[in-house]
């Protein structure tokens, strides 16, 4: 009897390595099949192993990829979420899960996953276009094994600009002025994966707006160069951003900033972020030159998805200081906040809105003349409240094409009359992404 038991044990010990070896062979074969785009065959190999390998992140990843390939995004999501819970450091799993969320119409959740790996600046404000760009980059990285992914776009349209009547704009003779404008925008970006968790990216964005009555001719070139590193459910990024703007009448403004930021996915629905930046704004010559300054700003933000991942709500608070300036008002402390909301109603329709506010408190007394009471003046310190609000609707009417009506409102309130300003803009653009 004892001999029989020993024989059975020996046989079992001999079978276990063979079973494990067979599983390894099946996983290796399935991986090759997925890379070749043979998703049905890969799924047939991996599906029988899922129940006994529920804690193997590699098997769950390749199973999720196979399920995505055969169009079963719901089951792919389950496998990939489990894989990330077991091994959150794998960048490819985040990209694959982002693709699964996008296929299910959960674009807010998809963006949270994509942004841990891909880092593009100067993207449109709407969630729909952002996720379309990220999803195509993820597809190229996963299915074509590209280490460098790129996107580009061109947009053109026109609209109406109005300077609203305020004490400041009336005093300068520009209140309640309306003008038609035409605009064009072109740019793109690339992301290069150094390895599984480290990447560098570069973006370029050119904007030109021509006003029908010739009062302004705005030109704006923006660029960004950054590096990023992912770890667990977090991403750390840092780099440089720049902007060269033509302000009309021969005046230019140059902005260069260095920044670092950290973003963490708290769960599939929420992210938290921290950031710091130092920016130098310089007017090389002309009457605006005294406004040159340096700003140091810290920020903290929270974003949460709703409607089963179709919508997103975000809030960011910031505070800092403007210094190294030759303005009569001196340096200034600043603080403010941004709130935004976005909802992808379908794979072709999206709406967004945002509101931004900042308060600047200056540190130098100045003599202020009151135009309302002749020959009267007071000593004061300048205080500004700056407001900006925008909204837009995105209709993706064909592959890569979208129609984009948008609205922008700006209001600057100051206890110094000349710095009161308000404007409203409305425009419609047609955008082609590629």
Q: What is the CATH number of the domain that holds 42?
A: 1.25.40.10
Residues 262 and 329 in one domain: yes
Residues 98 and 180 in one domain: no
Q: According to the model, what pLDDT value does residue 371 have?
A: 57
Q: Is residue 169 part of a domain?
A: yes
Residues 328 and 415 in one domain: yes
Q: Is residue 129 part of a domain?
A: no
- State the pLDDT confidence band at 121, using cuts at 50, 70 and 90: confident
Q: According to the model, what pLDDT value does residue 65 have?
A: 96
What average pLDDT does range 248-268 have in this prediction?
91
Q: By mean pLDDT, which of 97-111, 143-157, 172-186, 386-400 is the weakest?
A: 172-186
What average pLDDT does range 118-133 have in this prediction?
92
Residues 140 and 80 in one domain: no
Q: Is residue 10 part of a domain?
A: no
- State the pLDDT confidence band at 19, using cuts at 50, 70 and 90: very low
Residues 72 and 141 in one domain: no
Q: Where a domain ends, among 85, 114, 143? A: 114
- Give the residue, 407 or 88, on which the prediction is more confident: 407
Residues 61 and 153 in one domain: no
- State the pLDDT confidence band at 165, using cuts at 50, 70 and 90: confident
User: Are residues 331 and 304 in contact, defined by beta-carbon separation less than 8 angstroms?
Assistant: no
| CATH number, domain containing residue 238 | 2.40.160.40
Provide the 3-class DSSP secondary structure of residue 127: helix
Q: Which pair of tokens denotes residue 393? A: 């609707």
Residues 192 and 313 in one domain: yes
- How many structural domains comprise the chain? 2
Cα separation, 156 vs 403, whole angstroms: 10
Kindly tell me the burial class for residue 393, based on how many C-beta atoms sit within 10 Å of its own C-beta (0-12, 13-18, 19 or more). middle
Residues 179 and 105 in one domain: no
Q: According to the model, what pLDDT value does residue 212 have?
A: 86
Q: In this structure, how many other beta carbons lie within 10 angstroms of the beta carbon of residue 68?
A: 25
Q: According to the model, what pLDDT value does residue 368 have?
A: 63
Give the chain's end-to-end CA distance (angstroms, integer): 74
Domain range enclosing 77: 19-114
> Considering only CA atoms, which of 196, 191, 194, 95 is closest in space to residue 138?
95
Q: Is residue 123 part of a domain?
A: no
Residues 143 and 47 in one domain: no
User: Are residues 133 and 110 in contact, defined by beta-carbon separation less than 8 angstroms?
Assistant: no
390: which residues sit within 8 A by CB, 6+ positions away?
Answer: 125, 353, 354, 406, 407, 408, 409
Q: According to the model, what pLDDT value does residue 403 have?
A: 98
Q: Is residue 14 part of a domain?
A: no
Q: According to the model, what pLDDT value does residue 12 have?
A: 44
What average pLDDT does range 284-299 have in this prediction?
90
What average pLDDT does range 283-288 have in this prediction?
85
Average pLDDT, the chain: 89
Q: Is residue 13 part of a domain?
A: no
- State the pLDDT confidence band at 14, using cuts at 50, 70 and 90: very low
Q: In this structure, how many other beta carbons lie within 10 angstroms of the beta carbon of residue 314?
A: 18
> Considering only CA atoms, which of 330, 432, 323, 354 is closest in space to residue 125?
354
Residues 190 and 101 in one domain: no
Q: Which pair of tokens denotes residue 343? A: 């909802």
> Considering only CA atoms, which of 155, 206, 205, 152 is closest in space to residue 182?
155
Residues 105 and 241 in one domain: no
Provide the 3-class DSSP secondary structure of residue 218: strand
Cα separation, 44 vs 59, whole angstroms: 13
What percent of the chain is predicted at pLDDT more than 90?
A: 71
Query: Tell me: the pLDDT tens digits for 228-257?
Result: 998 888 999 999 999 999 877 778 899 999
Map the chain to HEC letters: CHHHHHHHHHHHHHHHHHHHHHHHHHHHHHHHHHHCCCHHHHHHHHHHHCHHHCCCHHHHHHHHHHHHHCCCHHHHHHHHHHHHHHCCCCHHHHHHHHHHHHHCCCHHHHHHHHCCCCCCCCCCCCHHHHHHHHHHHHHHHHHCCCCEEEEEEEEEEEEEEEECCCHHHHHCCCCCEEEEEEEEEEEEEEEEECCCCEEEEEEEEEEEEEECCCCCEEEEEEEEEEEEEEECCEEEEEEEEEEEEEEECCEEEEEEEEEEEEEEECCCCEEEEEEEEEEEEECCCCCCHHHCEEEEEEEEEEEEEECCCCEEEEEEEEEEEEECCCCCCCCEEEEEEEEEEEEECCCCEEEEEEEEEEEEEEEEEEEEECCCCCCCEEEEEEEEEEEEEEEEEEEEEECCEEEEEEEEEEEEEECCHHHCEEEEEEEEEEEEEC
Strand partners, 321: 296, 333
What percent of the chain is predicted at pLDDT more than 70?
A: 90
Q: Where a domain ends, among 62, 82, 114? A: 114
Q: According to the model, what pLDDT value does residue 20 have?
A: 46
The residue with tokens 């900006």 is 388
Residues 53 and 86 in one domain: yes
Q: Is residue 212 part of a domain?
A: yes
> Considering only CA atoms, which of 333, 249, 334, 323 is closest in space to residue 288?
249
Q: Where a domain ends, among 58, 82, 114? A: 114
Query: Tell me: the pLDDT tens digits for 70-98?
Result: 999 999 999 999 999 999 989 999 999 99
Q: Is residue 143 part of a domain?
A: yes
């Amino acid at each position: 009897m004892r001999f029989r038991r020993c024989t059975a044990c020996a046989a079992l010990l001999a079978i276990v390595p063979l079973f494990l070896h067979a599983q390894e062979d099946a996983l290796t074969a399935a991986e090759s099949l997925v890379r070749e785009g043979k998703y049905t065959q890969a799924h047939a190999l991996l599906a029988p192993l899922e129940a006994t390998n529920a804690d193997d992140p590699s098997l769950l990843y390749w199973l999720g990829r196979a399920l995505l390939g055969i169009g079963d995004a719901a089951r792919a999501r389950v496998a990939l979420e489990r894989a990330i819970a077991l091994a959150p450091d794998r960048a490819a799993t985040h990209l694959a899960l982002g693709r699964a969320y996008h296929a299910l119409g959960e674009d807010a959740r998809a963006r949270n996953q994509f942004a841990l790996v891909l880092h593009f600046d100067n993207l449109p404000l709407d969630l729909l276009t952002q996720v379309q760009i990220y999803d195509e980059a993820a597809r190229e990285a996963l299915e074509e094994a590209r280490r460098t992914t790129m996107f580009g776009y061109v947009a053109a349209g026109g609209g109406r600009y109005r300077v609203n009547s305020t004490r400041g704009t009336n005093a300068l003779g520009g209140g309640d002025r309306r003008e038609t404008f035409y605009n064009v925008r072109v740019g793109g970006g690339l992301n290069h994966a150094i390895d599984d968790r480290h990447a560098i990216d570069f973006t370029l964005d050119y904007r030109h707006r021509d006003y029908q009555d010739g009062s302004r001719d705005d030109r704006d070139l923006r660029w960004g160069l950054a590096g990023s590193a992912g770890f667990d459910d977090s991403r750390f990024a840092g780099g440089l951003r720049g902007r060269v703007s033509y302000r009309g009448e021969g005046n230019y403004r140059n902005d260069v900033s260095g920044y670092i930021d950290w973003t963490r996915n708290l769960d599939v629905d929420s992210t938290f972020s921290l950031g710091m930046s130092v920016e130098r704004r310089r007017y090389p010559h002309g009457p605006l030159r005294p406004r040159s300054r340096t700003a140091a700003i810290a920020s903290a933000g929270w974003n949460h998805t709703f409607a089963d991942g179709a919508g997103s709500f975000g809030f960011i608070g910031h505070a800092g200081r403007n210094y190294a300036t030759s303005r009569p008002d001196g340096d200034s402390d600043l603080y403010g906040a941004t709130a935004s909301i976005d909802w992808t109603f379908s794979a072709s329709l999206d709406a967004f809105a945002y509101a931004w506010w900042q308060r600047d408190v200056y540190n130098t007394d100045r003599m202020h003349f009151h135009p309302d009471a002749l020959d009267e003046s007071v000593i004061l310190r300048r205080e500004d409240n700056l407001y900006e609000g925008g909204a837009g609707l995105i209709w993706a009417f064909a592959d890569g094409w979208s129609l984009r009506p948008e609205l922008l409102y700006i209001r600057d309130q100051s206890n110094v009359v000349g710095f009161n300003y308000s404007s409203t803009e409305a425009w419609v653009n047609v955008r082609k992404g590629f």
